[in-house]
Amino acid sequence: MANVTSLVQGFKVVGLKFCEESKGVHQLLWKKHTVRIHSECKPPDRTLFVVNVPPYCTEEAFQRLFSEYGKVQNVYFHKKPTSGPPQSAKYPHFSIVTPVLGFKVAYIVFTHSSAVKKAMAVPPSTVLVLSTKEHPVLTGVKKWHQQYNQQFISRITLNKEIKALISEYDKKKEQEQAASKQEPDNEGWVTVTSVKKKKTHMKKIDELKNKKNKKKKKKHQLVNFYTFQHRQTKIDQLAQLRKKFEEDKRRINLMKESRKFRPY
């Protein structure tokens, strides 16, 4: 590897190889995180800002790499530099979070500020190895196979997430209803809703109606309970229709005969 400048515009330049057998060396650039807007998730004194991060880098691999300088609390990947935390799904199976693809930036948050100083003091000849035999970084078919298997969710995990989502929705609706009852509108009026109870005599009338309806349903259900009864009823109805048809036919013939012209 050709020697590179130790610092480029305040960034420390460090080599990165995908594995020991890799001939090509990628350059990572990092420096101490400095922002105008303070963020609790990325404290400036304990955060290292890394740019030119290749697409194949993972949070687990970076956590292992930078643990050489100190205990790593969090690793955040972003498409562009930002002071806030990355997008995260509270319910990962019911919300869509766009993954960070291609080259990206990383924020390494340590538990102690001494780790940032140690990382900035590494020599320019340092070459980090991302994927090792003990901690391999999957690529190609193996990576696709892992992603495919991760699509299948266990029933227990899904049930827990559904219950949590429903309970949160119910709490939100209750809070909205309580707020709408107490908060005054633009004119200063407060909406008060009252639930009217049915009178006792009205309840009795409703009970009697329900009993009558139940009796009617029972009678209707008992008719033609068995299959053979249902079939026999259809046969009887068909016989009655045929009998009526013959009677109507006979009556029409009699009417025709009575209308014939008889001059003598």
Average the pLDDT over 45-57 and give the result: 94
Tell me which of 187 and 95 has the higher pLDDT.
95
More confident: 164 or 70: 70
Query: What is the average pLDDT across 39-63?
Result: 92
Give the chain's length: 264
Instruction: Please report the DSSP string for 209-256 in residue order.
Output: HHHHHHHHHHHHHHTT-SHHHHHHHHHHHHHHHHHHHHHHHHHHHHHH
188 pLDDT exceeds 80? no
Give me the percent of the chain exceeding a pLDDT of 70: 80
Model pTM score: 0.58
Query: What is the pLDDT at residue 111?
Result: 94
Give pLDDT, residue 71: 95
| DSSP strand pairing (26-32 vs 11-17) | antiparallel
| 5 — pLDDT class (breaks 50, 70, 90) | low
Q: How many CA atoms lie within 13 Å of 102's alpha carbon, on the beta-carbon side?
A: 3
Least confident residue range of 34-48, 101-115, 191-205, 227-241: 191-205
b/e per residue, 128-143, with b = 16+ CB within 10 A?
A: bbbbeeeeebeeeeee
According to the model, what pLDDT value does residue 233 have?
A: 83
Helix (H, G, I), strand (E, B) or coil at 93: coil
The answer to whether 16 and 27 are in contact (CB under 8 A) is yes
The pLDDT tens digits for 77-115 are: 999 998 887 777 777 777 777 788 899 999 999 999 999
pLDDT at 21 over 50: yes
8 A C-beta contact, residue 109 and residue 72: yes
pLDDT at 261 over 60: no
- Checking if the pLDDT of 221 tops 60, the result is no
pLDDT at 223 over 90: no
End-to-end CA distance of the chain: 136
pLDDT tens digits along 126-176: 999 999 889 888 888 888 887 788 778 888 888 888 888 888 888 888 888
3-state secondary structure string across 108-137: EEECCCHHHHHHHCCCCCCEEECCCCCCCC
CA distance 75 to 55: 15
Residue 1 has pLDDT above 50, yes or no: no
Q: Closest Cα partner for 65 from 140, 150, 127, 155? A: 127
Q: Determine contact, residues 86/77, Cβ cutoff 8 Å.
A: yes
Residue 36 in tokens: 């105008």
Burial of 252 (0-12, 13-18, 19+ CB in 10 A): exposed
Q: Is the pLDDT of residue 191 over 90?
A: no
